[in-house]
Every structure is written in structure tokens, then in C-alpha cells.
Chains A and B, each alone.
Chain A
Amino acid sequence: MSDVRPDTPLRVLIVEDEALIAFDLEAQIEDCGYEVTDIAQDVASCQAAARRVRPDVALMDYRLKNGDSGRVAATWLREELDVPCIFLSGNLDEATRALLGPLHPVAFVGKPLLPPALRAALEKADALRAGPG
């Protein structure tokens, strides 16, 4: 599987309104050898950042700045750019997960973030990059 994977490192867009948590994520992603394209706080900045550099995957918080919803940002990413998401969520209920199903998220990673869980999710995204479906 790693044979068909592109040579460039996985590009990750972080969509997280808590700046320090975003920094932490950035450090962990870079530790894994991947690249962070940008850090966005809400739907508008997510759209702007993704247009500038199309990421391979977005690390998406469910509750964003100014009451924005991560679902709106994730839907836009999937529909406009076919970018999948890893959802960062400590406590998403079943109904919300079902609602996100059609977006085919790569993974749900709980908060607080544990490096092994994030690493596993990113590796899965990297593998999917070879050819989804």
C-alpha cells in the first residue's frame, strides 16, 4: 500500500478555535512527519485556507469560533474539494455521529488528545490518500 502513496508528506489543515490546542496539534502532526497547511478557527477561515492550499485531510473540531459548526465546514470541504475529515470530539453522541456519516469521516478522535490515537488517525488518512474507496 505504501508503494502507491504519493511522495509528498500528508498535508493537514487544522480547524480548531482554541489556539493552544491548535498549537499542540500542530506540534504532534509535525512530529509524525506530516505537514500543517494552516490553522483555521471558523468556517470562513477554513474555506479560505483550503482554497489557498488544498489539504489531504482536515483535523476538525466540532464546535468552532463564533458558534460555527464543524459539520458545516466538513460538509463544504467534502463537497467542494473532496477533503475528508478527522473529527476531534470528546463527546459526540450517536445521533451526531450518524449525521456526520454521509461525509465519510476518516476517524473520530476524542479529547483530550492522546498522541497514539491521533497518530493512528493520521496514518489512516495517509493510507486513504493512495486511492479512496
Chain B
Amino acid sequence: MEHSVPCRNNSLETRSALQEAGAEALFDNRTDTLRIDAADLLSSLPRSVAVIDSDMVYIDVSDAFLDMTGRTREELVGSPVFEMFPPGAAEVAPSGNLVRDSFRRVFETAKPDRLDTYYYPIAGAGDGLLERRWWRADNRPILRNGRVVAVLHDVEDVTADVIARRDRDIRDRLIESLSAVGTWEFRPQEGSIVASAALVEMFGLEGQAAEGPAEPFLDRIHPEDLPSVTAAFEAKADAPIGAPVDIDFRVVTPEGSERWLACRSELVRSEPRASVTFVGVSLDITDSKNREATLTETIAERDRLLEQKEVLLGEVNHRIKNSLQIVSSILKLDANQARDDRMQGRLRAAASRVQAVASVHELIYRAGQVDTVEFGEYLGDLCRAMEDSLPLEIALIHNSIPLRVSTDRAISLALLVNELVANSVAHAFRDKKDGTIAVKAAVRDERLELSVSDDGDGKPVTPTHRGLGTRIIAAMVSQLEAELQQSPGARGGHVVHLSMPIGS
């Protein structure tokens, strides 16, 4: 039975003998093993196989072959192969019909002949339209007495694989072109690599083989990064399939420039004990790394400048305060030199006004904040400064509330409070020599309520009075959008009440 050609229409000796014995399958009496009919064996082979004779005619085929081609056994058996499946002009190799050539080689040389992936469209069983199909075939001789009597044509439809691979190739190519992604397979134990053109370029190895020793690639990795790269792969040498190795490192090109690569890979292993391969992709992230570095530098520079700005602003306010203090001192000196009382009073008032503005700058310098000042704190400063220039018998008291106001408003408020206190001194204590002036602040309904009261016996400031102090009060009240009210005080003196928006 061995070496017999399974066949349906050309009965073979063995088969005839079996049929004569009246059995399809028998036990061999000598060996007690089940004996199988060759034709039945062929029919139920899981592969699509055809037996073809030297005239290129189908002798028999497997059921799988029928399934694959969509033909019946009656159609195929006894029919010439290339009449059933004629090769189109475009589908054959330039040298001719590659399938026929392969069959001929087997008959001539009695040696197996493989056909790697080839294109051979066949007419569909139903509509007769040509279907685009790719195949892989293994053609083997069937010998009898050393002579090739037929070819066993073992053919596999690889259309789905080819299309999938083609699609994947297109995708890979597009990804490479779009984002400069290099793809690779690295076998650390063998020290070999298969690299895509983009990866070769990333390593500055243009002109080098894309497949071969990994050494040229490893040589290009920055010496500081190489140990960690090697260690990352070594650490995963015994890891299960799918273990990732993700690592960023620098590549130094022959010109000396550095390039950052981000690499993502996964371990694959064909057999449990086989050496490992890492399949991976690399992305050139030099630009983003550079941007990151520039950004870090820029932020550091910005912080430095901001710090410098704060220092300079503080310095400027300190100098403004000093200069105003000098102006105030000159005015005071001038006042002391003045011969008549009126002139002395005027100069002292001017010195006091300049001093009021200076106190705000002093506070800005001390607090280190330029836009706003702490009102309560500044009112204290202001009152202490004013008290120094008041007659000893008059006490100036104030309260303190937590409230921040803008620097602009603080300067206006300073001038206003200075004038109101000066007014009290000038009018309330013209005859009475001792007493108290109270500056009180409160916040009510989002408004700043400020009052300056005294227990003197003077007359309130008349609105018609055109003194400079009165004009400054009017100007500041309007600038602060304040409302001013005057009334007799509970202790017999006089109260000026101001209500204004807190402002920004």
C-alpha cells in the first residue's frame, strides 16, 4: 500500500485486492493494525491537496481542496488543471506559468518543489468572476519504481495573510513617514538587530545594513545612557512574553549632535526556552526634549527676573520714600528759619503733606507689595508720624482694622487724614490747648467709614473757605468718591465723617 497512488478512476492493485476481499478497511492479519484505503485517506486530509499526473490532469483531490476552490470532485477529477484554472496573462510570472513550471520540475528532477507566496486568480465557483487569490504550494513527487508518476500538489490559500500583511506594511510605512517612527527587532543575546530605514537614519547609520549585528547601533548610544539601556533589556531576559521595555536615551551622531529617542518594545519568544526578541518602535523626541529644556530654563529665568523685579520695586519705593523724606525735612528746616508765624505754619503744613505721602511708600517698601497696602497698619504709621509734629498737649489716637486698599487710594487717604487732623489742630485747639484727636476706621456695608473727631472748641471748617487745606480735602474727597459730613461731636468738639467705597 505504501507508495501507491490513491486514485478513483484508475484502480490500483492494492485497492482492487481490498475490494475483492469485500472490505473498505481491514485489520492486517500479520500486524493487527487498521489498514486505510489511500483514496479515503486523501479525501479526508485536512490540507487542500491534489494529485496531478504528467499530463497536468487532476487524478484526485482532498475534500479540503474542493472546499477551497468551490468545485466538485466530478468537475475536477479527470480534467486538465490549466483548463479548470486557466492562468490569465497578467497573473503568470514573466517567464510563463510558474505553477506549471513547478510541476514540470518535479517530474523532471523527482525532487520537491516549493512555491512561496504567489498570485493566481481563479474563477469563482458560482459567478465565474475572477477572484484575487494568493497561494503557497508544496509540490512533491509520487514515485513508483523510482519514476515520478504524479505530483502531490499541497496548496494553501494565503490571501488573507497577504492582504493583512500588505495593510500592515502600508500602515507601518505611513506611521514612519508621518512621525519619524523607527521600528526594530532586537535580539540582545545574539547581539543582532533588524531595523527599519527610519531607525537606521535616527542612529545616523545611513548606508549600513538594516539587518545584522546590533553593535553599530549600541555604539551610537550616549555613553552615559548605554548602561541603563543594556540593563533594561537584561532585566527582562527571563520575563514572560509581552514584557515591556520602555526607555528613553540619547544617540550621538558622528557629527557629535545628540538626539533623544523614546523606545517602546515588547518581549517575544517563539518557544519557551528560545532566545528573546524585543519588537519595538522608536520615536525621535529631540524637539520636545529641547523644548522642555528651553522651557525649564525660561521658567528659571522668569523666576529670577520676577525676584529681581520685586527687589528693584522695593528699592524704588525705598528711594521715593527717602527723597520725599528729604523734601519734607527741607520744608521743616525752612519752617524753622521762617520769621513770621504764618509762613512757618504754611511750611510745616507742606512738610506734613509730603510726609503723609512718604509714609505710604515706606509701607510699600516694608511690606514688599506694590499694588495694595494694609490700611490699618498704614493708618498707625501715619498717625504716629503726625503726632510727632503736633503740640505735646494734643493726643492723637487711632484704631486699626484689617483692610487692604490700593496704593493710589492709600496716598489720597493719607493726604485726606493729614488735612483733617491739621484742620482739627488749627481750628479746634485755637484757644483750648490740650485735648484728643481720634481717627477711627470701620468697614460697614462694603464701605470704608472714617471719622476724625476732636474734643476742642473750634468752629467747623466752612465750605466757603478757600484755604489750600480745604481744597486738598475737596480734591481727595472727589478722587476717593467719598461723602463728607460734619457734625458737632458728643464731647463738645467736632466730627468729620467720611464714607467711601473700599475700591479695588
Q: Which residues of A contact B (CB under 8 A)?
A: 18-20, 22-23
The chain B residue with its CB closest to the CB of A17 is: B479
Q: List which B441-498 residues lie within 8 A (CB) of chain A.
A: 471-472, 475-476, 478-479
Residues of B within 8 A of A19 (CB): 475-476, 478-479
The chain A residue with its CB closest to the CB of B480 is: A19
Say whether chain A's binding surface is mostly helix, strand, loop, or mixed: helix
- What's the Cα separation between A18 and B472 when bound, in Å? 11
Nearest CB in chain B: distance from A40 CB, A: 12
- What's the Cα separation between A18 and B478 when bound, in Å? 10
Given contacts A19-B475, A22-B475, 10 further A-B contacts (CB under 8 A): A18-B479, A19-B476, A19-B478, A19-B479, A20-B415, A20-B472, A20-B475, A23-B471, A23-B472, A23-B475
- What's the Cα separation between A23 and B468 when bound, in Å? 10
**What are the 10 tightest A-B residue pairs by CB atom distance, in nearest-first order?**
A19-B475, A19-B479, A20-B475, A23-B475, A23-B471, A19-B478, A19-B476, A20-B472, A22-B475, A20-B415
Say whether chain B's binding surface is mostly helix, strand, loop, or mixed: helix
- What's the Cα separation between A18 and B415 when bound, in Å? 13
Residues of B within 8 A of A20 (CB): 415, 472, 475
- What's the Cα separation between A22 and B471 when bound, in Å? 11
The chain B residue with its CB closest to the CB of A65 is: B479
- What's the Cα separation between A61 and B101 when bound, in Å? 100
- What's the Cα separation between A23 and B476 when bound, in Å? 11
Nearest CB in chain B: distance from A44 CB, A: 15
- What's the Cα separation between A20 and B476 when bound, in Å? 8
Nearest CB in chain B: distance from A39 CB, A: 9
Nearest CB in chain A: distance from B482 CB, A: 12
Nearest CB in chain A: distance from B407 CB, A: 13
The chain A residue with its CB closest to the CB of B478 is: A19
Can you spell out 12 A-B residue pairs with CB atoms less than 8 angstroms apart? A18-B479, A19-B475, A19-B476, A19-B478, A19-B479, A20-B415, A20-B472, A20-B475, A22-B475, A23-B471, A23-B472, A23-B475
- What's the Cα separation between A18 and B471 when bound, in Å? 13
**What is the 8 Å Cβ interface bit string for chain B, positions 309-341, against chain A (1 contact, 0 not)?**
000000000000000000000000000000000
Nearest CB in chain B: distance from A120 CB, A: 26
The chain B residue with its CB closest to the CB of A19 is: B475
- What's the Cα separation between A18 and B476 when bound, in Å? 9
Nearest CB in chain B: distance from A64 CB, A: 13
Residues of A within 8 A of B415 (CB): 20
Residues of A within 8 A of B471 (CB): 23
- What's the Cα separation between A19 and B409 when bound, in Å? 12
Residues of A within 8 A of B472 (CB): 20, 23
Residues of B within 8 A of A23 (CB): 471-472, 475
Nearest CB in chain B: distance from A102 CB, A: 32
Residues of A within 8 A of B479 (CB): 18-19
Nearest CB in chain B: distance from A61 CB, A: 14
Q: Which among A18, A20, A23 has the greatest number of chain B C-beta atoms within 10 A?
A: A20
Residues of B within 8 A of A22 (CB): 475
The chain B residue with its CB closest to the CB of A22 is: B475
Q: Which among B415, B478, B479 has the greatest number of chain A C-beta atoms within 10 A?
A: B479
Nearest CB in chain A: distance from B480 CB, A: 10
- What's the Cα separation between A73 and B31 when bound, in Å? 120
Residues of A within 8 A of B476 (CB): 19
Residues of A within 8 A of B478 (CB): 19
- What's the Cα separation between A115 and B415 when bound, in Å? 24
**What is the 8 Å Cβ interface bit string for chain B, positions 197-237, against chain A (1 contact, 0 not)?**
00000000000000000000000000000000000000000
Q: Which among A18, A19, A22, A23 has the greatest number of chain B C-beta atoms within 10 A?
A: A19
- What's the Cα separation between A23 and B474 when bound, in Å? 11
Nearest CB in chain A: distance from B466 CB, A: 12
Nearest CB in chain B: distance from A111 CB, A: 15
Nearest CB in chain B: distance from A88 CB, A: 17
The chain A residue with its CB closest to the CB of B474 is: A19
The chain A residue with its CB closest to the CB of B408 is: A18
Nearest CB in chain B: distance from A25 CB, A: 12
The chain B residue with its CB closest to the CB of A26 is: B471
- What's the Cα separation between A104 and B475 when bound, in Å? 31
- What's the Cα separation between A104 and B228 when bound, in Å? 72
**What is the 8 Å Cβ interface bit string for chain B, positions 407-433, against chain A (1 contact, 0 not)?**
000000001000000000000000000
Nearest CB in chain B: distance from A77 CB, A: 22
Nearest CB in chain B: distance from A26 CB, A: 10
The chain A residue with its CB closest to the CB of B353 is: A20
- What's the Cα separation between A123 and B244 when bound, in Å? 86
- What's the Cα separation between A18 and B479 when bound, in Å? 8
Residues of A within 8 A of B475 (CB): 19-20, 22-23
- What's the Cα separation between A18 and B411 when bound, in Å? 11
- What's the Cα separation between A71 and B478 when bound, in Å? 24
Nearest CB in chain B: distance from A32 CB, A: 19
